Amino acid sequence: MIKRRRFLNFATSSLCGFSMAYLLGSCSDQNPEDVAKSPSSLDIKTKVLRMGYQSAGDLFRNRKVLEKRLEPLGIKVEWAQFAQGPQLMEGMRVGKIDVGSVGETPPIFAQVASSNLVYVVGTQRTATTGTSSVIAVPPESPLKKFEDIKGQEVYFQKGSASHYFILRALQSIGLTIKDIKIKSLPTVEASGAFLQGKIPVWMTNDPYYAIAEKAGRIRVLKNSVGLDSPGGYYIADRKFAKENPGLLKIIIEELHALDKWADGNRDEVAKLMITEQKLDQDVAARVISRRSFAGRRGLSPALIAEQQRVADLFFQEAVIPKKINIKEALLSPDLYAAITPPEIMV
C-alpha cells in the first residue's frame, strides 16, 4: 500500500443472460479469490454504510433514499464529502468510505496506484450528456475559439473526469496534452479565482458553471458532448463489496429508482438542490436544465470495453506510467448478475 501523500501526488502529477461467457468472456483476468468466494447468498455484514460524495452535490444523499431503505435493516448511513473524484478515491483507499460516486477517470488513476477497488455500476449517457461540463474563459479573454487554447494555462483537477475531457478535446483539434500548461486545482477551489478573472482557462461543471453564468463571468469554448466518455461509476472497496453484496444490490436498485423519479420530478430535484446544497433558485434551474437522468448501466462487456479504452488512451498518451486491465477491478460475473437489474445490463 502506498502512502496517502504519494497517492495524491501521483493522481495530481499527470503521471449472464449474465453467464460468465456473456459477461466477461473469461475470468482469467480477475482476482481468483473473487471467483472462488463469490457468495451464494447476498450477505450484508456491516451495520454502517459509509458513502462518499463530491462537493458538487449528490442527489442520492439529498433524497435520503438509502436511509429510508436501510433503517429497517438496522444499518446506518454516514456521508463524507470530498472535493472531487481523486480525493474520494484516496478516502476509500485509506478506509474512510466504503462506496462513492466518481467519473470515468479517478478509478483508473487509483488502479494504477494499486488501490483495492471494484466497479459497482455505471451510468447511462445520452446525446446531450456533457452539456454541463465545459472548458471556459472569462468574458474579456482574448481567446475566441477552442483552438486558441494551445500554449495556455488550463486549470482542472488532475486525475478527475476533466483529465479525460481535455485529452479528448485536444485530440479533436489535432493537439496533445503537451500543448497546454496544466495547473491542477479542484473545481471548488478554483471557482472564486475564475470569477475574479485570475484563471485564464478553466474546466468546470455544474453547479459551478451555473454560478459563473449567473455572475456573467464565463464564456464557454467547448463542452464535452460527443467526446465518448463511458460516464461515471459507483465504486466500492473490494473487501467491503465481497462482504456486503446484498448492500450493493440495494444501492443499485435505489439509484435506478431515483433516476426514474428525478426525470419525472425535476421541480422537486431543484428544490432539494436549493435546500440541501444552498443553491440560488435560478442557479438550480440552470443546473436542472442541463441535467439528464438517463439511469444506471450495469458492468456489461460493452461498458467494460469502453472503460478499458479510456485507460488505454491515458497510457498511450503517457498520462499514466503503466497499462492496466479494468477486469482486475471487477467482481465475479455471477455476483454482478445477482446484484444488477437485467434491464440495465447493456
**For range 50-71, the mean pLDDT:** 94
Residues 6+ apart with CB under 8 A from 124: 231, 294, 295, 296, 297, 344
Residue 223's φ and ψ, nearest 5 degrees, are -110, 175
**For range 74-98, the mean pLDDT:** 97
Q: Residue 41: which pLDDT band, with cuts at 50, 70 and 90?
A: low
- Is there a single domain that holds both residue 210 and residue 159? yes
118 within some domain: yes
Is the per-residue pLDDT at 38 higher than 70? no
Residues 6+ apart with CB under 8 A from 160: 84, 85, 86, 103, 105, 106
In whole angstroms, how far apart are CA 121 and each of 54, 102, 170, 181? 17, 11, 29, 34
C-alpha torsion sign, points 314, 315, 318, 319: positive
At 180, which CATH number?
3.40.190.10
The pLDDT value given to residue 5: 42
Is the per-residue pLDDT at 280 higher than 90? yes
Domain boundary pick from 183, 201, 223 = 223
Q: Rg of the chain's alpha carbons, rounded to an integer?
A: 20
The pLDDT value given to residue 25: 36
35 within some domain: no
In whole angstroms, how far apart are CA 223 and each of 51, 66, 149, 220, 231? 29, 32, 14, 7, 15
- Looking only at the bridges linking them, the beta strands covering 181-184 and 99-102 are unpaired
Q: Contact 243/41 with Cβ under 8 angstroms?
A: no
283 within some domain: no
Domain boundary pick from 223, 253, 268 = 223
Residues 6+ apart with CB under 8 A from 109: 10, 11, 15, 86, 89, 159, 320
Is the per-residue pLDDT at 65 higher than 80? yes
- Is there a single domain that holds both residue 74 and residue 167? no
155 within some domain: yes
Is the per-residue pLDDT at 81 higher than 90? yes
- Is there a single domain that holds both residue 234 and residue 324? yes
> Looking at the 3D structure of the chain, how many domains does it have?
2
40 within some domain: no
Query: Whole domain around residue 256: which residue ranges?
Result: 48-125+230-276+293-344
- Is there a single domain that holds both residue 263 and residue 322? yes
- Looking only at the bridges linking them, the beta strands covering 99-102 and 233-237 are antiparallel
Could you give the CA distance from residue 289 to residue 333 in angstroms, rounded to a whole number? Answer: 37
174 within some domain: yes
Q: How many CB atoms lie within 10 A of CB 168?
A: 16
Kindly report whether the global pTM for this prediction surpasses the value 0.85. Answer: yes
In whole angstroms, how far apart are CA 204 and each of 14, 72, 94, 136, 149? 18, 39, 27, 8, 15
In whole angstroms, how far apart are CA 303 and each of 54, 61, 225? 23, 25, 18
Is the per-residue pLDDT at 9 higher than 90? no
Q: Residue 27: which pLDDT band, with cuts at 50, 70 and 90?
A: very low
Q: Contact 52/99 with Cβ under 8 angstroms?
A: yes
Is the per-residue pLDDT at 40 higher than 90? no
**For range 66-91, the mean pLDDT:** 96
281 within some domain: no
Average pLDDT score, the chain: 89
- Is there a single domain that holds both residue 249 and residue 170? no
The pLDDT value given to residue 7: 44
- Is there a single domain that holds both residue 235 and residue 159? no
The pLDDT value given to residue 127: 85
Residue with cell 456473456: 22
Residue type, 90: E
Domain boundary pick from 223, 246, 264 = 223
Is the per-residue pLDDT at 34 higher than 50? no
Q: What is the pLDDT of residues 161-174, one digit of tens each?
A: 999 999 999 999 99
By C-alpha distance, which of 254, 319, 242 is closest to 39?
Answer: 242
Q: What is the pLDDT of residues 198-227, one digit of tens each?
A: 999 999 999 999 999 999 999 999 999 988
Is the per-residue pLDDT at 1 higher than 70? no
- Is there a single domain that holds both residue 214 and residue 309? no
- Is there a single domain that holds both residue 57 and residue 112? yes
**What DSSP character marks residue 121?**
E
42 within some domain: no
- Is there a single domain that holds both residue 219 and residue 246? no
Q: What is the pLDDT of residues 226-246, one digit of tens each?
A: 888 999 999 999 999 999 999
- Is there a single domain that holds both residue 340 and residue 249? yes
The pLDDT value given to residue 57: 84
- Is there a single domain that holds both residue 165 and residue 199? yes
Could you give the CA distance from residue 270 to residue 281 in angstroms, rounded to a whole number? Answer: 8
H-assigned helices in the chain: 4-11, 20-23, 32-36, 59-63, 65-70, 85-93, 106-112, 161-171, 187-195, 208-214, 238-243, 245-264, 266-276, 281-290, 301-316, 333-339
Query: DSSP 3-state assignment of 307?
Result: helix
Is the per-residue pLDDT at 12 higher than 60? no
- Is there a single domain that holds both residue 219 and residue 316? no
